[in-house]
Amino acid sequence: MAEKIQSPAGTRERLLAAAERLLLTERYDEVSVRGICAAAGANPAAVHYHFGSKEALVVALLEDRLGELWDAPLTALAARSASVPEVVDAVIAPFVGLAADPVGRLHLRLLAQFVLGRPPLVWSRPWFRIDSWDGLAPRLGEGEGRRRWMLAFTLIMTRFGAAESQGSDLSTNAVATLRDFVVAGLTCPAGGNR
Protein backbone atom coordinates (compact mmCIF):
# COMPACT_ATOMS: atom_id res chain seq x y z
CA MET A 1 0.00 0.00 0.00
CA ALA A 2 1.42 3.40 -1.00
CA GLU A 3 2.19 5.91 1.74
CA LYS A 4 0.04 9.03 1.53
CA ILE A 5 2.08 12.11 0.61
CA GLN A 6 1.27 15.19 2.69
CA SER A 7 0.53 18.35 0.74
CA PRO A 8 2.60 21.44 1.62
CA ALA A 9 -0.59 23.31 2.57
CA GLY A 10 -1.58 20.40 4.82
CA THR A 11 1.80 20.34 6.51
CA ARG A 12 1.74 24.12 6.94
CA GLU A 13 -1.70 23.99 8.60
CA ARG A 14 -0.66 21.04 10.80
CA LEU A 15 2.37 23.04 11.96
CA LEU A 16 0.18 26.05 12.76
CA ALA A 17 -2.33 23.89 14.64
CA ALA A 18 0.43 22.08 16.56
CA ALA A 19 2.10 25.35 17.56
CA GLU A 20 -1.26 26.71 18.69
CA ARG A 21 -1.95 23.61 20.82
CA LEU A 22 1.50 23.70 22.41
CA LEU A 23 1.34 27.43 23.10
CA LEU A 24 -1.97 27.00 24.93
CA THR A 25 -0.15 25.16 27.70
CA GLU A 26 3.46 26.32 27.41
CA ARG A 27 5.20 29.66 27.18
CA TYR A 28 6.59 30.69 23.78
CA ASP A 29 10.20 30.29 24.96
CA GLU A 30 9.47 26.75 26.17
CA VAL A 31 8.05 25.57 22.83
CA SER A 32 10.75 24.27 20.52
CA VAL A 33 10.75 23.96 16.74
CA ARG A 34 11.46 20.26 17.17
CA GLY A 35 8.46 19.96 19.50
CA ILE A 36 6.18 21.70 17.02
CA CYS A 37 7.33 19.42 14.20
CA ALA A 38 6.86 16.32 16.36
CA ALA A 39 3.37 17.41 17.43
CA ALA A 40 2.48 18.03 13.78
CA GLY A 41 3.90 14.70 12.66
CA ALA A 42 6.22 16.57 10.33
CA ASN A 43 9.87 16.39 9.35
CA PRO A 44 12.12 18.15 11.92
CA ALA A 45 13.02 20.76 9.28
CA ALA A 46 9.40 21.52 8.33
CA VAL A 47 9.09 24.75 10.35
CA HIS A 48 12.19 26.15 8.68
CA TYR A 49 11.01 25.01 5.25
CA HIS A 50 7.50 26.49 5.53
CA PHE A 51 8.16 29.55 7.69
CA GLY A 52 11.88 30.15 8.10
CA SER A 53 11.81 30.30 11.90
CA LYS A 54 9.65 29.71 14.95
CA GLU A 55 9.05 33.46 15.18
CA ALA A 56 7.84 33.58 11.56
CA LEU A 57 5.57 30.59 12.26
CA VAL A 58 3.91 32.49 15.12
CA VAL A 59 3.55 35.60 12.93
CA ALA A 60 1.83 33.40 10.31
CA LEU A 61 -0.35 31.86 13.02
CA LEU A 62 -1.47 35.27 14.25
CA GLU A 63 -2.14 36.58 10.76
CA ASP A 64 -4.00 33.38 9.86
CA ARG A 65 -6.16 33.31 12.99
CA LEU A 66 -6.71 37.06 13.49
CA GLY A 67 -6.37 38.64 10.05
CA GLU A 68 -9.93 38.01 8.95
CA LEU A 69 -11.24 39.80 12.03
CA TRP A 70 -9.83 43.10 10.75
CA ASP A 71 -9.21 42.79 6.98
CA ALA A 72 -12.65 43.45 5.52
CA PRO A 73 -13.99 45.85 8.18
CA LEU A 74 -10.88 48.05 8.24
CA THR A 75 -10.49 48.03 4.47
CA ALA A 76 -14.10 49.16 4.09
CA LEU A 77 -13.69 51.87 6.74
CA ALA A 78 -10.48 53.16 5.14
CA ALA A 79 -12.12 53.23 1.71
CA ARG A 80 -14.88 55.52 2.93
CA SER A 81 -12.64 57.65 5.17
CA ALA A 82 -14.52 56.60 8.30
CA SER A 83 -14.24 58.56 11.52
CA VAL A 84 -11.60 57.72 14.10
CA PRO A 85 -14.25 56.41 16.57
CA GLU A 86 -15.57 54.00 13.91
CA VAL A 87 -12.05 52.70 13.21
CA VAL A 88 -11.29 52.31 16.92
CA ASP A 89 -14.55 50.39 17.40
CA ALA A 90 -13.59 48.05 14.52
CA VAL A 91 -10.22 47.44 16.15
CA ILE A 92 -11.45 46.89 19.71
CA ALA A 93 -14.57 44.78 19.05
CA PRO A 94 -12.62 41.64 18.02
CA PHE A 95 -10.34 42.03 21.06
CA VAL A 96 -13.40 41.83 23.33
CA GLY A 97 -14.55 38.62 21.67
CA LEU A 98 -11.08 37.09 21.73
CA ALA A 99 -10.62 37.91 25.42
CA ALA A 100 -13.70 35.83 26.27
CA ASP A 101 -12.20 32.62 24.81
CA PRO A 102 -9.11 30.64 25.96
CA VAL A 103 -7.73 30.26 22.42
CA GLY A 104 -8.55 33.90 21.72
CA ARG A 105 -6.65 34.92 24.86
CA LEU A 106 -3.67 32.90 23.61
CA HIS A 107 -3.77 34.81 20.34
CA LEU A 108 -4.00 38.13 22.18
CA ARG A 109 -1.13 37.23 24.49
CA LEU A 110 1.04 36.18 21.52
CA LEU A 111 0.07 39.28 19.57
CA ALA A 112 1.02 41.48 22.50
CA GLN A 113 4.27 39.58 23.04
CA PHE A 114 5.24 39.77 19.39
CA VAL A 115 4.26 43.36 18.73
CA LEU A 116 5.34 44.89 22.03
CA GLY A 117 8.34 42.82 22.97
CA ARG A 118 10.16 42.07 19.74
CA PRO A 119 12.02 44.01 17.10
CA PRO A 120 9.91 44.88 14.05
CA LEU A 121 8.56 41.77 12.38
CA VAL A 122 7.66 41.08 8.78
CA TRP A 123 3.88 40.99 8.50
CA SER A 124 2.21 40.12 5.20
CA ARG A 125 -1.35 41.23 5.98
CA PRO A 126 -1.86 44.98 5.65
CA TRP A 127 -3.63 45.71 8.95
CA PHE A 128 -0.75 44.19 10.90
CA ARG A 129 1.64 46.76 9.39
CA ILE A 130 1.72 50.29 10.85
CA ASP A 131 2.06 51.92 7.42
CA SER A 132 -1.50 50.76 6.62
CA TRP A 133 -2.77 53.11 9.33
CA ASP A 134 -1.46 56.27 7.67
CA GLY A 135 -4.35 58.61 7.04
CA LEU A 136 -6.75 56.96 9.50
CA ALA A 137 -6.31 59.89 11.86
CA PRO A 138 -6.81 62.53 9.15
CA ARG A 139 -6.20 65.64 11.24
CA LEU A 140 -2.69 64.48 12.07
CA GLY A 141 0.31 64.33 9.78
CA GLU A 142 1.67 60.96 8.72
CA GLY A 143 4.45 60.81 11.34
CA GLU A 144 2.23 62.02 14.19
CA GLY A 145 -0.56 59.69 13.10
CA ARG A 146 1.78 56.69 13.13
CA ARG A 147 3.13 57.57 16.57
CA ARG A 148 -0.37 57.88 17.98
CA TRP A 149 -1.60 54.66 16.38
CA MET A 150 1.46 52.88 17.79
CA LEU A 151 0.64 54.24 21.25
CA ALA A 152 -3.00 53.24 20.81
CA PHE A 153 -2.03 49.68 19.86
CA THR A 154 0.42 49.49 22.75
CA LEU A 155 -2.35 50.43 25.15
CA ILE A 156 -4.93 48.10 23.59
CA MET A 157 -2.57 45.14 23.39
CA THR A 158 -1.22 45.73 26.87
CA ARG A 159 -4.75 45.71 28.22
CA PHE A 160 -6.08 42.74 26.27
CA GLY A 161 -2.87 40.75 25.88
CA ALA A 162 -1.82 40.66 29.51
CA ALA A 163 -1.29 37.07 30.61
CA GLU A 164 -3.15 37.73 33.85
CA SER A 165 -6.19 39.04 31.97
CA GLN A 166 -8.61 36.17 31.91
CA GLY A 167 -11.61 38.01 30.53
CA SER A 168 -13.33 38.54 33.87
CA ASP A 169 -11.92 42.02 34.46
CA LEU A 170 -12.84 43.34 31.01
CA SER A 171 -16.11 44.90 32.03
CA THR A 172 -18.19 46.88 29.60
CA ASN A 173 -17.22 50.05 31.46
CA ALA A 174 -13.49 49.20 31.31
CA VAL A 175 -13.68 48.59 27.56
CA ALA A 176 -15.69 51.80 27.04
CA THR A 177 -13.11 53.79 29.01
CA LEU A 178 -10.27 52.26 26.99
CA ARG A 179 -12.11 53.05 23.76
CA ASP A 180 -12.79 56.65 24.77
CA PHE A 181 -9.17 57.14 25.84
CA VAL A 182 -7.85 55.78 22.53
CA VAL A 183 -10.28 57.91 20.51
CA ALA A 184 -9.28 61.02 22.49
CA GLY A 185 -5.59 60.31 21.89
CA LEU A 186 -6.12 59.89 18.16
CA THR A 187 -8.35 62.94 17.73
CA CYS A 188 -6.63 65.45 20.00
CA PRO A 189 -5.07 68.18 17.84
CA ALA A 190 -1.34 68.01 17.35
CA GLY A 191 0.45 70.93 18.84
CA GLY A 192 2.73 72.36 21.43
CA ASN A 193 6.46 72.26 21.56
CA ARG A 194 8.03 68.85 21.37
Residue 193 has pLDDT above 70, yes or no: no
One-letter amino acid of 96 = V
Helices (H), 80-162: 84-99, 102-116, 142-161
CA distance 64 to 13: 10
Question: Is the CA virtual torsion 57, 59, 62, 67 positive or negative?
Answer: negative
**What is the predicted pLDDT for the residue at 7?**
54
pLDDT classification of 77: cutoffs 50, 70, 90: very high
Burial class from Cβ neighbours inside 10 Å (0-12, 13-18, 19+) for residue 174 reads: exposed
Instruction: Quote the pTM value.
Output: 0.81
